[in-house]
Structure 1
């Protein structure tokens, strides 16, 4: 993690929808998001004065971000980061009720990791895009593969299908602006723009409805 000294900070302009600040306050929530184009992790919330409160930190190519309880998990170019909140209920730090600090950075190497989740057994699972598989962490290796599409014959760093997302539970995740209406269903395949996004064993995908998907 890199924090830029104030004297070196460049101007950062942020615009938002007119009602975003008031909506954040009404819902009593904040947003966390990453942007690999500018290498930033953002925390965004509303203030009583009607202005946005924005915190940013620099990471090398931050990508997937997953929240679980008081913890956050984030993929980046070479590491998978684990953050945890230090504040107890009722505590504040600089008017904020959450203070996420980096606890662990797992080195995966440059595998072009995208989305990340934590399963019911507390295993960290991430999309290893370069090796076209879902993977987990290992103390001995950069990663351990868990699953790969049946049409991927070898685990090689060639980004053969640009696997970049995963679903958890009873819903399938859609990312990069893809919507249900963009999809084409054929047999057990879910296709988009001429490419196979997923193959569901034993399921006729034409029976799927929009409720089976979630945007992530």
Structure 2
């Protein structure tokens, strides 16, 4: 086992296993990972010789992450930030990194409580707003515009009625969402049983799977529907015809931010905000029975066998991971902050002439 401590994370020890390093190196990917409340965005790469490189950027909260073509988005507390890979441009090179994301826009949304995000086939960013119980898009005239809302939600109010949190695209269109419980009352899901989580088909409004425990991250991958049954500490798949959930792996942690590479699912497992035992929550009941503790870690699960690779563990101040995003065919990735991006040497001009503007 190799261990790496990062001085950039105050009061936190970061430990990476050799198995995780080998997985990244063999499959040739990098990873973007957010630590939610602490606001750290980690870009995880493999070094050329050996070891893992963590590039860390600070954000005001760090929630959903999405990529599309050469762009990357990060949802924060009150805004969404869009970055572009500057190394795509001819003449801009790096001897160390294969991709380097620089900030290009910041869209103020206000406190949507943005959770998962994704880019549809039109290049439009979709955002799950838990606060407004809706999937929304960015707007040039408003904080956001509604794309979809569950039929049982009677008003567009910031009341987190059902805790809508995850979304999934099919052929570039919004297909599935996850929620904790069907409720039309302010914070109504908090008063209901833990085992009322659902995956909804947005085209029909019907439940594809019911009885889940605080589910997150519905994903279609290789024709299968996967989901994190977070409150039970499980990762599994759903039969889209019968609605049956099949557990692939018990991961002994609260999962969020599901992504895939090759034959593996990758996501983070988190500790609760406090060390308090939550009675009735399947995950905590099982951990207590096993006399085990939950943890904050990045893990990988083999889709066929359910074998779990312990990846990167966080000990200390970092307690929660929210999202992960795989960058395939890229072994090294970096990101610039807003100050670094203002370097005059980073100015790149699009040579394609805009006829409409030039002819005016």
Q: Please, what TM-score do these two structures have when normalized by structure 1?
A: 0.78
- The answer for the alignment partner of 1:164 in structure 2 is 165
- The answer for the alignment partner of 1:211 in structure 2 is 224
Q: Please, what TM-score do these two structures have when normalized by structure 2?
A: 0.48
CA distance 1:175–1:32, shift in 2 (3 Å) = farther
Give, in angstroms, the shift of residue 172 of structure 1: 4.3
Work out whether 1:50 is the aligned partner of 2:63. Answer: no
Please state whether the residue corresponding to 2:224 is helix, strand or coil.
helix
Unaligned runs of 5+ in 2: 1-6, 181-192, 210-222, 228-257, 260-360
- The answer for the alignment partner of 1:194 in structure 2 is 196
Bigger proportion of residues as strand: 2
Unaligned runs of 5+ in 1: 1-6, 177-190
Give, in angstroms, the shift of residue 18 of structure 1: 2.4
Distance 2:134 2:116 in 1: 12
- The answer for the alignment partner of 2:329 in structure 1 is none
CA distance 1:24–1:135, shift in 2 (3 Å) = same
- Tell which has more relative contact order, 1 or 2 (C-alpha 8 A, sep 6+): 2
Please state whether the residue corresponding to 2:140 is helix, strand or coil.
coil
Give, in angstroms, the shift of residue 202 of structure 1: 8.0
Give, in angstroms, the shift of residue 24 of structure 1: 1.4
CA distance 1:42–1:172, shift in 2 (3 Å) = same
- The answer for the alignment partner of 1:36 in structure 2 is 36
CA distance 1:125–1:21, shift in 2 (3 Å) = same
- The answer for the alignment partner of 1:82 in structure 2 is 82
Please state whether the residue corresponding to 2:26 is helix, strand or coil.
helix
Render the CA deviation track for 1:93-131: whole Å, top value 9, x for unaligned: 361111101111110001100111111111111011100
Distance 2:207 2:40 in 1: 40
Distance 1:116 1:20 in 2: 26
CA distance 1:139–1:101, shift in 2 (3 Å) = same
Distance 2:84 2:64 in 1: 16
CA distance 1:195–1:77, shift in 2 (3 Å) = same
CA distance 1:197–1:204, shift in 2 (3 Å) = closer
Distance 1:72 1:125 in 2: 13
Please state whether the residue corresponding to 1:99 is helix, strand or coil.
strand
CA distance 1:15–1:175, shift in 2 (3 Å) = farther
Give, in angstroms, the shift of residue 91 of structure 1: 5.9
- The answer for the alignment partner of 1:104 in structure 2 is 105
Backbone CA RMSD of aligned residues: 3.1
After superposition, residues 60-209 of structure 1 pair within 5 angstroms as: 60-88=60-88, 92-93=93-94, 95-169=96-170, 172=176, 193-198=195-200, 201=204, 205=208
Distance 1:46 1:211 in 2: 29
Render the CA deviation track for 1:40-80: whole Å, top value 9, x for unaligned: 11100111332111100000111000111211111110111
Distance 1:160 1:120 in 2: 29
